[in-house]
Structure 1
Amino acid sequence: MANPYQVPPPPPPPRRSNNTATILVIVFVVIAAIYGASRVLLADDTKNDNKPSSSASTPGSPSTKTSDPGNPESSSDTSSSWKVGDCGGPDPANKPDGYRPQKCSASGATFKAIDIKEASILPGAIQCPAGTDLMIEVSISYNGGKSGGIPTNTVCGRNLSGDHPGDAGAGGGQLVKGDCVTDQAQEVPCAGSPKGTYKVLGLVKTKSECPSGTTEPMQLTMAVGRPYDVICAEG
């Protein structure tokens, strides 16, 4: 006879089914996917921060005069794309020496690009054609910065007005044949120039290359990148 007070043993715990394991795996995969996506988005944001902007950097002292007659004043622009025939003018957002492209008919246009040269980090290495009134250094800055940047091109500009300091003898721009210089090789206007000034007959590498009529060949100090080392002058 069975003992009426005997308590039957508890049933064994149910076995975990394969469905439960599958659910756990799916949850883990979803979490891993979300984490991976967040990392990709973060990486993309970082890449975007490092993309170059179209703004150009302004040299620290672009208007500083130099004793090198082959290295005139230069400024920077606010665009990385220029071609011959484009016009430009001062950029109010990048004062005091910034320029930006403008339509030639615009009231703010002050010059036209007569040549585009590749950029150079060597002062005086870029020679614009005769008649260039100003040289504009084009560079690309990163992270939207307004300073610094990588030089890309140099715009050789000629004023739209009647003022052309880059013309031969006018006393400005780069030194060219027909300009006038002092005995210290400083360019001055030929008109009304004081006694002791000389007219430039040529710009060459050695004195032996000076043309006939040269009475004052001026040997310049060495400058890396400059295409000439001697000013052939006539007194």
Structure 2
Amino acid sequence: MTNPYQASPPPQPPPFTPGAPQRRGSNKFVVFLVLALVVGGAYGASKVLGADKGKSSTSTSASASPSAKPTAKDPGSPESSSDTSSAWKVGDCGGPDASKGADAYKRTGCSDSGASFKAIDIKEASILPGSIQCPAGTDVMIEVSISYNGGKSSGIPTNTVCGRNLSNEHPGDAGAGGGQLVKGDCVTSQAKEVPCGGSGALKVLGLVKTKEECPSGTTDPIRLTISVGRPYDVICTDG
């Protein structure tokens, strides 16, 4: 007689038979899902990279301008404009580029009718314009930079070109009233550069950091507003 309280044993899986086919349906689905995700991710990444490549571009450009007239705040700092010039070297010539603006310049052949100045020195670029000191006789300062996005941005400065006019007009010469401020120039009591010989012109005897460094003969030292990078803070004059 069968015991009614005896539990029936659970069904046992069929014994494993070597060589018999096994169930792999679930494994195939997992492999398929992984492959689909990998392929889809790769395709999406290629589309994103392709779009970025099409949107971004790099171009070489330059910013060129006459050196600014010195003021009591920051004498000798160049202004900023833009053109399509690239790498400059000593001896290169340049001239105005009307297509880029009133203060823009571009490289030209020295014999070209549009050439107006020649590069007499090349300086490393700086984010502190007042720290760039061109040699005496520099009439114009050219800031060369690399622009991105088709030249629509102002660009990253790479070099500064110190140029001298090809004509007989040289405002950068000492006392002529233009270019960067140098020893031998003249200024007003407000530190504005003016041609020497005019009314109220004070002769510059030195450009130093402190009044105590002014040379003998200085009667009216002019202390400037502090500007990071500028090599001097005091104009020594004999006014």
1:181 and 2:168 matched: no
TM norm structure 2? 0.74
Alignment match, 1:55? 61
Are residues 214 and 63 of structure 1, via their aligned partners in 2, closer, same or farther at CA, if it must alter by over 3 Å? closer
Deviation at 1:51, TM superposition (A): 3.5
The partner residue of 1:205 within 209, 213, 230 is: 209
Alignment match, 1:90? 96
CA distance in 2, matches of 1:117, 1:160: 20
Are residues 72 and 198 of structure 1, via their aligned partners in 2, closer, same or farther at CA, if it must alter by over 3 Å? farther
CA contact (8 A) 1:75 1:136 kept: no
CA contact (8 A) 1:57 1:147 kept: no
CA distance in 2, matches of 1:98, 1:170: 23
Structure 2 gaps of 5+ residues are: 1-34
Are residues 147 and 45 of structure 1, via their aligned partners in 2, closer, same or farther at CA, if it must alter by over 3 Å? same
Are residues 218 and 57 of structure 1, via their aligned partners in 2, closer, same or farther at CA, if it must alter by over 3 Å? closer
The partner residue of 1:222 within 222, 226, 229 is: 226
Q: Percent identical across equivalent pairs?
A: 70
Are residues 99 and 162 of structure 1, via their aligned partners in 2, closer, same or farther at CA, if it must alter by over 3 Å? same
CA distance in 2, matches of 1:154, 1:209: 29
1:153 and 2:159 matched: yes
Alignment of 1:1-235 (within 5 A): 40=46, 43-44=49-50, 46-47=52-53, 49-56=55-62, 67=71, 68-191=74-197, 193-194=198-199, 196-235=200-239
| Matched residue count | 207
CA distance in 2, matches of 1:209, 1:63: 27
Are residues 111 and 198 of structure 1, via their aligned partners in 2, closer, same or farther at CA, if it must alter by over 3 Å? same
CA contact (8 A) 1:135 1:154 kept: yes
Deviation at 1:64, TM superposition (A): 7.5
Structure 2 SS opposite 1:78: coil
Instruction: Tell me whether 34-43 or 126-135 shows the greater mean CA deviation.
Output: 34-43
Structure 1 gaps of 5+ residues are: 1-28
Counterpart code for 2:117:
F
